[in-house]
């Protein structure tokens, strides 16, 4: 049987692992043709095989606006357009604010916020031309509240939430919805890096470090990538057209 998203082409950034790969699988399971985009060609090839169903791989650095335009143009030519854009690629860097130098600050903005901007700029013309589209930005609970020692990351993710809301209003009458999903601490490579950082700075073991992160979630656990993917999938369905400009926290009640 054909899925609800049959005949739709979805492009997912940061799709080689973690949340991005889970989203790509969920969209493919629902019938979409999926292009997986990321920087690491080896990891992308493995993800492409994992998703199957004719998924394509696209090696890009989303911080390079011109490269994004070229790569998205190729994807449009190959697949006839981009109906669904999932801006999942991101990076987290931590430091006390007084030690947050200009390089760290700019890297967080370039990857998490400007990268989202570049991808929307490249995908939006086709959506406008056809009068239909779904844009889902994977932000973070850090885009809805503050966390210590990640000021640059929080600022960038707050920017993603602001961009989501502004663009949702601008496109509301054009058949295109723009929403954000805001995961809490999720069992991904980024969280593994956070665990390693806690261990290095505090001397705690891996189990204790992971428990510290899980404690942010009232359910006392880390979110799983598939749980985030399910929320993203729902926002992409044709039946979800009334969902626009929303920031949905997938965090067990951490943010309400």
Per-residue pLDDT of the chain (256 residues; tens, 9 = 90+): 468 999 999 999 999 999 999 999 999 999 999 999 999 999 999 999 999 888 999 999 999 999 999 999 999 999 889 999 999 999 999 899 999 999 999 999 999 999 999 999 999 999 999 999 999 999 999 999 999 999 999 999 999 999 999 999 999 999 999 999 999 999 887 777 777 888 888 888 888 888 888 899 999 999 999 999 999 999 999 999 999 999 999 999 999 9
Q: Does residue 44 form part of some domain?
A: yes
Beta strands 56-59 and 33-38: pairing type?
parallel
Catalytic entry in 117, 147, 149, 153:
153
Under 8 Å CB-to-CB from 224, ≥6 apart: which residues?
186, 187
Q: Does residue 192 form part of some domain?
A: yes
∠ CA(240), CA(243), CA(246), 5° rounding?
145
17 to 20, 46, 51, 135, 234: CA distances (angstroms): 6, 9, 11, 20, 20
Residues 22 and 128 in one domain: yes
Residue from 116, 162, 122, 154 nearest 137 by CA: 116
Residue 149: both structure tokens together: 């020692």
Residues 125 and 177 in one domain: yes
Residues 45 and 150 in one domain: yes
120 to 180, 211, 213, 250: CA distances (angstroms): 13, 36, 31, 23
Query: The pTM is what?
Result: 0.93
Residues 191 and 229 in one domain: no
| CATH number, position 118 | 3.40.50.720
Q: Does residue 25 form part of some domain?
A: yes
Residues 83 and 115 in one domain: yes
Number of domains the chain contains: 2
Residues 241 and 216 in one domain: no
CA distance 51 to 121: 26
Residues 145 and 41 in one domain: yes
Residues 34 and 141 in one domain: yes
- The range of the structural domain enclosing residue 67 comes to 9-184+224-249
Q: Does residue 236 form part of some domain?
A: yes
Q: Does residue 3 form part of some domain?
A: no
Q: Does residue 39 form part of some domain?
A: yes
Q: Does residue 256 form part of some domain?
A: no
Residues 61 and 178 in one domain: yes
Residues 173 and 217 in one domain: no
Q: Does residue 255 form part of some domain?
A: no
Residue from 55, 47, 51, 90 nearest 75 by CA: 55
Residues 81 and 191 in one domain: no
Annotation marks residue 149 as catalytic: no
């Amino acid at each position: 049987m054909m899925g609800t998203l049959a005949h739709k082409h979805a492009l997912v950034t940061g799709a080689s692992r973690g949340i991005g790969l889970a989203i790509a699988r969920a969209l493919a399971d629902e019938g979409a043709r999926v292009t997986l985009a990321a920087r690491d060609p080896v990891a992308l090839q493995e993800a492409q095989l994992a998703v199957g169903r004719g998924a394509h791989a696209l090696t890009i650095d989303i911080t390079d606006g011109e490269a994004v335009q070229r790569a998205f143009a190729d994807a449009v030519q190959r697949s006839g357009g981009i109906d669904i854009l999932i801006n999942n690629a991101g990076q987290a860097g931590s430091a006390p604010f007084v030690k947050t130098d200009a390089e760290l600050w700019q890297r967080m903005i370039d990857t998490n916020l400007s990268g989202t901007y570049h991808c929307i700029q490249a995908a939006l013309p086709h959506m406008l031309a056809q009068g239909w589209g779904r844009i889902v930005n994977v932000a973070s609970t850090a885009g809805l509240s503050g966390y210590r020692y990640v000021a640059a990351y929080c600022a960038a993710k707050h920017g993603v939430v602001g961009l989501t809301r502004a663009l949702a209003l601008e496109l509301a009458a054009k058949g295109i919805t723009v929403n954000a999903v805001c995961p809490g601490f999720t069992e991904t490579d980024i969280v593994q890096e956070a665990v390693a950082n806690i261990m290095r700075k505090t001397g705690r073991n891996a189990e204790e470090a992971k428990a510290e992160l899980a404690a942010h979630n009232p359910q006392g656990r880390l979110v799983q990538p598939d749980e985030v993917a399910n929320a993203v999938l729902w926002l992409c369905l044709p039946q979800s057209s009334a969902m626009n400009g929303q920031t949905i926290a997938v965090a067990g009640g951490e943010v309400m």
